[in-house]
C-alpha cells in the first residue's frame, strides 16, 4: 500500500550519487548535508519517489527503507550480520510463522528483526545490557512495538545453559558456538535445527567436532559470496570490488 509520508516514519534519502541517508520525520526538524538543507515537512504528505530539493539545489529521492536498508544504516553497538548472510540463515534454519527460536549473540538485532519479519518467535540470551537494549530499540524502530510481543531478550550466558525446552531452532552468533552444542541438545525438539555464524574457519572446525555424533544429521558448512556487476552501456563486467568473506554458516539437524 502506497500512502503518503507522515511524521514519525523512517525515510531513506538518495542523492544523485546514490549516497544514502536514513532519517525519521520529526515535525519542525530539517535534513542537513554539505549540499544544503530542507525541512522534514517538505516530505510529509508526499508519496514514495518524491524528490526534495535542498537550499543549494541538491536533489534527494525519498523512499521507505527496506529491511536491507535499515540493517545497513541502523544504529549499532555490535558488528551486524549483513544481508548477504541474513537471508541464507533464515532459509537454512527454515524460519517461518510460529517457529520458536532460541538466539544468542543478539548484538544489534539485525538477525533478530529478520527472523521476526519472517514470522518467528524469539527468546534471546545476550551478555551485554547495552547490546540487548540496542537490539530491542532497533526491532521496535523498524518493526513496531507489536514485534516485541514475540521478542524476549534476557541478560544470560548461554555457555552456562539454556532454560528453554522444545524450541524449533537454535541460532548462534558467538565466538565459541561449540560450547553451546550440548545445551542445544537439551533445548531443541527432535527434528530441530542448529545453525551458527562464525567468522573463522577454526571456529567452524571446532563446532563440527562438537556436532560429530549420531544425535546430529545433515551437518554442513558453507559461506555466501556476493559479487555485483558493473553495467553501463556496452561495458558489462564484474565489479572490481566484492563482498567476499564475512562469515561461515554451519547447520545441522537434531535427531533427538
167-197 pLDDT, tens digit per residue, is 999 999 999 999 999 999 999 999 999 999 9
> If 0-12 CB within 10 Å is exposed, 13-18 middle and 19+ buried, where does residue 117 land?
middle
Q: Residue 20: is its pLDDT beyond 70?
A: yes
Average pLDDT, the chain: 95
The whole-model pTM stands at 0.90
In tens, the pLDDT along 85-136 reads 999 999 999 999 999 999 999 999 999 999 999 999 999 999 999 999 999 9
Query: Taking a C-beta distance cutoff of 8 angstroms, is the pair 107, 77 a contact?
Result: yes
Q: Could you state, in order of their start, the residue ranges of all structural domains in the chain?
A: 10-65, 69-254
**Residue 1 has what pLDDT?**
64
Question: Among 250, 202, 192, which residue's Cα sits nearest to residue 223?
Answer: 250
Q: How far apart are CA 86 and CA 112, in angstroms?
A: 10
In this structure, how many other beta carbons lie within 10 angstroms of the beta carbon of residue 108? Answer: 22
Fold (CATH) for 69-254: Rossmann fold (3.40.50)
Q: How confident is the model at residue 14 (pLDDT cuts 50, 70, 90)?
A: very high
In tens, the pLDDT along 69-88 reads 999 888 777 778 989 999 99
DSSP string computed for the chain: ------TT-EEEEE-TT--EEEEE--TT-EEEETTEEEEGGGTTTPPTT-EEE-TTS-EEEEEPPPHHHHHHHS--SSPPPPHHHHHHHHHHTT--TT-EEEEE--TTSHHHHHHHHTT-EEEEEES-HHHHHHHHHHHHHHH-GGGGGGEEEEE--GGG-----SEEEEEE--S-GGGGHHHHHHHEEEEEEEEEEESSHHHHHHHHHHT-STTEEEEEEEE--B--EEEETTEEEE-S--B--S-EEEEEEE--
Q: How confident is the model at residue 239 (pLDDT cuts 50, 70, 90)?
A: very high
Lowest mean pLDDT across 67-81, 117-131, 137-151, 216-230:
67-81
Q: How far apart are CA 88 and CA 202, in angstroms?
A: 21
In Å, how far from its chain's centre is CA 71? 6
What percent of the chain stands above pLDDT 70?
Answer: 100
Q: Residue 39: is its pLDDT beyond 90?
A: yes
Q: How far apart are CA 43 and CA 25, in angstroms?
A: 8
The CATH architecture one would assign to domain 10-65 is Roll (3.10)
Q: Residue 163: is its pLDDT beyond 70?
A: yes
Amino acid at each position: 500500500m502506497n500512502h503518503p509520508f507522515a511524521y514519525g516514519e523512517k525515510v531513506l534519502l538518495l542523492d544523485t550519487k546514490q549516497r544514502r541517508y536514513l532519517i525519521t520525520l520529526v515535525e519542525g526538524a530539517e535534513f542537513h548535508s554539505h549540499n544544503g538543507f530542507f525541512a522534514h515537512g517538505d516530505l510529509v504528505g508526499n508519496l514514495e519517489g518524491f524528490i526534495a530539493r535542498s537550499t543549494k539545489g541538491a536533489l534527494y529521492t525519498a523512499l521507505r527503507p527496506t529491511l536491507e536498508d535499515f540493517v545497513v544504516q541502523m544504529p549499532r553497538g555490535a558488528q551486524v550480520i549483513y544481508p548477504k548472510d541474513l537471508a541464507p540463515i533464515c532459509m537454512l534454519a527454515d524460519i517461518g510463522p510460529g517457529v520458536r527460536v532460541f538466539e544468542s549473540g543478539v548484538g544489534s538485532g539485525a538477525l533478530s528483526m529478520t527472523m521476526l519479519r519472517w514470522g518467528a518467535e524469539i527468546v534471546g540470551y545476550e551478555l551485554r545490557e547495552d547490546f540487548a537494549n540496542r537490539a530491542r530499540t532497533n526491532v521496535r524502530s523498524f518493526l513496531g512495538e507489536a514485534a516485541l510481543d514475540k521478542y524476549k531478550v534476557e541478560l544470560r550466558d548461554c555457555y552456562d545453559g539454556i532454560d528453554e525446552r522444545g524450541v524449533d531452532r537454535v541460532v548462534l552468533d558467538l565466538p565459541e558456538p561449540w560450547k553451546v552444542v550440548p545445551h542445544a541438545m537439551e533445548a531443541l525438539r527432535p527434528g530441530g535445527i542448529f545453525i551458527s555464524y562464525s567468522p573463522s574457519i577454526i571456529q567452524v572446525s571446532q563446532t563440527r567436532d562438537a556436532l560429530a555424533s549420531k544425535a546430529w544429521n545433515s551437518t554442513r558448512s558453507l559461506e555466501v559470496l556476493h559479487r555485483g556487476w558493473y553495467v553501463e552501456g556496452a561495458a558489462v563486467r564484474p565489479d572490481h570490488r566484492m563482498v567476499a568473506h564475512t562469515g561461515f554458516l554451519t547447520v545441522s539437524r537434531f535427531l533427538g
